[in-house]
Structure 1
């Protein structure tokens, strides 16, 4: 369903290829990186935000709803006790009836990346 290939020559900067697209991941200098790209958790939040927005657009298009500009602020948070969570704020630019907003909030909880993050999964690692 999804596959990436990563290479790393030195340091914390990573070159990621997804199909024909090249992305860079890195850490900020405060974490020992050179800040040439988003950190891995930022990429994870970007995946969640992109999936949420795209899913909302697809749903709204089928309903013929104008959403205007969609804004999403997704944050990965680790509390003092070590509890990890994601906070996602979604803003719809166009005015909508309350019933439509309720339905869009439900759709946010059903996006593919949301569902993946909410359940645990096995990660199989093969070191060659």
Structure 2
């Protein structure tokens, strides 16, 4: 289970607490925010990137593979028809063989956040 508490006192800035960690989400100034933190979709892309990178690292460590620096860039887009997509680019700092790269390409598609985003889910909402 994962949970986060989001509190808004005024405007679009959001104070977020997850366990003992605190962060802020906000919208850019042109969107009516004060730009004190990443926008919600940017937070979502960060979650996908973090899960992707951590999963690759865990898998490689179990295999004894050195990956070096891992960079994962996730870009959310919505076209004019309203179709949403995410493009993810993973860059590894260490040279790998073709079999290793192919296996990591399979593994990144199985990360928990990837699997969640790739399928529909029910979101229930309760106002109290």
Give the TM-score taking structure 2 as reference length: 0.99
**Residue in 2 aligned with 1:57?**
57
Alpha-carbon distance in 1 for matches of 2:25, 2:31: 13
CA RMSD of aligned residues (A): 0.5
Alpha-carbon distance in 2 for matches of 1:58, 1:79: 34
In the alignment, does 2:11 pair up with 1:11?
Answer: yes
Query: Unpaired runs of 5+ in structure 2?
Result: none
Aligned length: 128
Alpha-carbon distance in 2 for matches of 1:40, 1:71: 21
Secondary structure at 1:3 match in 2? coil
- Give deviations 1:52-101, integer Å, cap 9, x for gaps: 00000000000000001001110001112211000000001100000000
User: Runs ≥4 in structure 1, deviation > 3 angstroms?
Assistant: none
Q: How far did 1:6 drift?
A: 1.1
Moved more, 76-85 or 46-55: 76-85
Alpha-carbon distance in 1 for matches of 2:41, 2:122: 19
In the alignment, does 2:94 pair up with 1:94?
Answer: yes
Query: Unpaired runs of 5+ in structure 1?
Result: none
Describe how 1:45-84 pairs up with structure 2 within 5 A.
45-84=45-84
Secondary structure at 1:38 match in 2? coil
